[in-house]
Amino acid sequence: MKKKELILDGLSCANCAVKIEEKVKKIEGINDVNVNFVTQTLKFNVDDESKLKEIEKIVKEIEPDVKVYDKDIIKNESQKKNSKADREKRFNKKDEIVRLLYSLTIFIIAILVKEPFSLKLSLFIFSYLISGWRVLYRSFTNIKKGLIFDENFLMSIATIGAFSIGQFAEAVGVMIFYEIGELLQNLAVDNSRRSIKSLLEIRPDYANIIDNDRTYKVSPQEVSVGQLILVKPGERIPLDGVVIRGSTMVDTSALTGEPVPKTIKEGDEVLSGFVNLNGSITVKVEKEYSQSTYSKILEIVENASSKKAKTEKIISKFSRYYTPIVVFSAIALAILPPLVFGGPFKQWLYRALVFLVISCPCALVLSIPLGYFAGIGKLSKKGVLVKGGNYLETLKKIDTIIFDKTGTLTEGVFEVTEVKAYNGINSHELLKIAAYAESHSNHPIAISIKKYYDEQIDEKLIQEYQEVVGEGVKAKINGETVLVGNIDLMKENGINLPELEPNGTIVYVGINDSFAGYIKISDKIRPKAKDTINKLKKLGIKKTVLLTGDNEETARKVGLELGVDEYYANLLPEDKVALLERYLNNVHTVAFVGDGINDAPVLARTDVGIAMGGLGSDAAIEAADVVIMEDDISKIIDAINISRKTIKIIWQNIIFILAVKILFLILAALGLANMWGAVFADVGVSLLAVFNCMRILK
């Protein structure tokens, strides 16, 4: 199976997007189909690329004006500009406004003309055809393809029916104002798309590649790993790399949400999406275009729509049955009451026609995915990546948050604060033996010991090395058996320890079956950690839990200082998973916050896995459902607040849309609503729902 992405250029109908997705899903050999109405893309896995023609045929059947592009083929900006020009040519807003003004003018003249009747009728028909020819044409072609129950069919039947019973002015007026409403809706949706996409506008247009002391512009896709690029003041860094010449300040806000510029010098890593503020720098490229940080961020945000929230799935299913039910109800309303209760057929037919106009589900199908995408886009601007609407929805329901200690609530930067030697060995010799034993380990504690020792390590002296998961290391150094680790490692190997007050993380050292001393390690609590815990409780989080592999005393001290509800110490990775399972089994909605590298099993198992400091970390981005792009734990507050605001606005739209639809359907059945009200219940409600979604971005 190969992943493919098609651009549906000009897709302006949310209901049609749902139909395209449903039909493409039925093609054999294609799976994981998702149409993103906001980004106008169709993503899927396919076993045979010859099926792309079949997909394009489906798109054209449902939306003839849409152009289909293979994203793999659109490689450079000039092609994208051509695509944009095509779209503007097909849907020129100015031409639309002129067409509707002509129709409206003729409509007003027709109302003012009293006699002869034939002229009046001709003017009405002329105005109707100018404003409604596109609706009629689409309805006719869709019926031929067996595609009924869309808004074009409903409007055509309703207005032609109104003509047939002599309601000429109402039929024409409703068509004109329906098209005006559609124009306004398209403008509102386009504006919404621009607003949301502007949050993600970190894509660099070009790279200044350096070749034989010459510099020339190329597309970022054309730059290879190892090549040198020049980034001038004011330019966006196009690819991830390392600065080999120059220094500058960079704006990282597009990736991290952090407004304070960062100083960059030779040897520092820079990421694509950063904006160079003042100095020219030469960067050696370390990742190709498709693997660069900004590319992965955009991919995560744009793919988020494929993981639909439960609410979105329910509404999509509801809309498939809603319109046919209302259409058949309208037929029953036109036929049954005259037969059962008597009365003129014309009166009940009119009510049924009003019923039809109201029934279109576009407002629901349009506003819900737009709302989720706006919430995800807003969070991305703040440096929080959410991988799907389902996770955004779950964030709102969280009642328990479990934190890993190291690198999450603490800075994860360990420092040696004390070296205490016993049994005739001096402190420097103890530190040296520990550094040699830890020389092959990448654990943060091991790194801090090696950094504190700060001398060259002679690899020839290390005869054996074994890492004991969750306990420490065993090694043979210059013929001596050395143990460096926690209390469990010492006890398992029969080493007796003196009574100690472990005010911090203690690393014990044993040499040849006897206790040689200890090294005390400290880890600073993050400045915002305590405030974040307090704010989470004010937000209604019922339980905060601290997990750590450190000793009981360290866990207790950190837990008390931060104010967490529970803490657990001396944990191995599998112990953390077991503890998480306990909370999940007690019907809690649980989020786990970790560094995304060591905590992958727990992040994968929890309801929502949140990785801290994911900027540039492939492991963090891969493992978690939510990625905080810098080491700022307070971003969890932003994630929960924006998720709650998003879900609140989405449910406001659902309730408002359904309430208005049901109200007008009842009024139509009772003869208390006309077609003008029906147009409001369709297009007007859609517009209001779109505007309400945009409040998420404020």
How far is it, in rounded angstroms, from Cα 589 to Cα 391?
12
3-state SS, residue 562: helix
Low-confidence winner among 197-201, 491-495, 689-693 (lowest mean pLDDT):
197-201
pTM of the complete model: 0.74
Buried b (16+ CB within 10 A) or exposed e, 458-474: eeebbeebebbebbbbb
Q: List pLDDT tens digits, range 607-635.
A: 999 988 766 566 667 778 898 888 889 99
* More confident call, 371 vs 619: 371
Among 315-324, 505-514, 671-680, 681-690, which range has the highest average pLDDT?
505-514
Phi first, then psi: what are they for 216, rounded to 5°?
-145, 155
How far is it, in rounded angstroms, from Cα 508 to Cα 517?
6
- As given in the structure block, the two tokens for residue 207 are 């790279």
Q: List pLDDT tens digits, range 209-225.
A: 998 888 989 988 889 99
Low-confidence winner among 292-296, 477-481, 615-619 (lowest mean pLDDT):
615-619
Cβ contact 682:363 at 8 Å: yes
- What is the arithmetic mean of pLDDT over 536-564? 89
Q: Return the percentage of the chain with pLDDT > 70, whole number.
A: 92
Q: List pLDDT tens digits, range 395-409.
A: 999 999 999 888 788
- As given in the structure block, the two tokens for residue 218 are 């190329």
| 539 confidence band (pLDDT: 50, 70, 90) | very high
Q: List pLDDT tens digits, range 71-127.
A: 777 544 444 444 444 444 444 677 888 888 999 999 999 989 888 889 999 999 999
In the chain, what are the domains?
A: 2-90 (3.30.70.100), 207-238+240-286 (2.70.150.10), 411-524 (3.40.1110.10)
Q: List pLDDT tens digits, range 318-359.
A: 777 777 787 888 888 888 888 887 778 888 888 888 887 787
DSSP classification of residue 587? T
pLDDT score for 619: 66
CB atoms within 10 A of CB 229: 23
Q: List pLDDT tens digits, range 421-451.
A: 998 889 999 999 999 999 988 887 898 999 9
Q: List pLDDT tens digits, range 242-287.
A: 999 999 999 887 777 677 788 999 999 998 888 999 889 999 999 9
- As given in the structure block, the two tokens for residue 133 are 């020819």
Instruction: Tell me which amino acid residue 398 is.
Output: I
Cβ contact 232:219 at 8 Å: no
**Cα 494 from chain centre:** 53
Q: Which residues have a catalytic role annotated?
A: 404
Please say if the pLDDT value at position 685 is more than 70: yes
pLDDT score for 79: 42
Q: List pLDDT tens digits, range 38-47.
A: 778 888 888 8
Q: Return the percentage of the chain with pLDDT > 90, whole number.
A: 27
pLDDT score for 596: 61
